[in-house]
Amino acid sequence: MRTAYDPFIVESVMHGFPPPPDMSVAERREIVHRLRQSGLTNKAVADRLGVTRQSVEQDVARWRPQRADIALAVAGQVYPAERFDGESIAHAAGRIIARVHDECADSVWTELTTMPDMDVRALCVTLAACCDPNKSIREMLAWTDELAPTG
């Protein structure tokens, strides 16, 4: 089981994707909280997540807001989905992360240079919220060690 909190896992489960087997306790608690807020019973939440009703009751009692979710909520209030072609700022940030990892960062750079400054700032805050503050910069960028230098 992972210990880090990933707001994108929470969002994907909330949009109907199955919970990953390595979901962290903090992620599960956030999902439980949101599902209960949407009106589901403890039993319905337990069935959806594949956990016991007792686990759900404990998660409800121990839930605390996550810093990443607070940052995303603030950014989402200031920057509604219409600003990002109908997707939430969290999903826009996730798309940029995937593109940087899977494609050439040059196309992302080009896209960012065409965006209004306030939108770029909102994405920066959201992207920062996606980082694990318990990891060093070297650890977070370790995936780039295998990349060949360009230019």
Q: Where are the domains of the chain?
A: 7-62, 67-143
Give this prediction's pTM.
0.49
Share of residues in the chain with pLDDT > 90 (%): 23
Taking the C-alpha atoms of residue 79 and residue 120, their distance in angstroms, rounded to an integer, is 11
Q: Are 89 and 76 within 8 A, CB to CB? A: yes
Q: Residue 32's pLDDT is what?
A: 95
Whose structure tokens read 């839930």?
Answer: 63
* The predicted structure's pLDDT at residue 40: 95
| Neighbouring C-beta atoms of residue 86, cutoff 10 Å | 10
The class (CATH top level) of 7-62 is mainly alpha
Cα gap 32→35, rounded to integer Å: 5
The answer, yes or no, to whether residue 71 has pLDDT greater than 70, is no
Query: 93-115: per-residue pLDDT in tens?
Result: 888 888 888 877 788 888 888 88
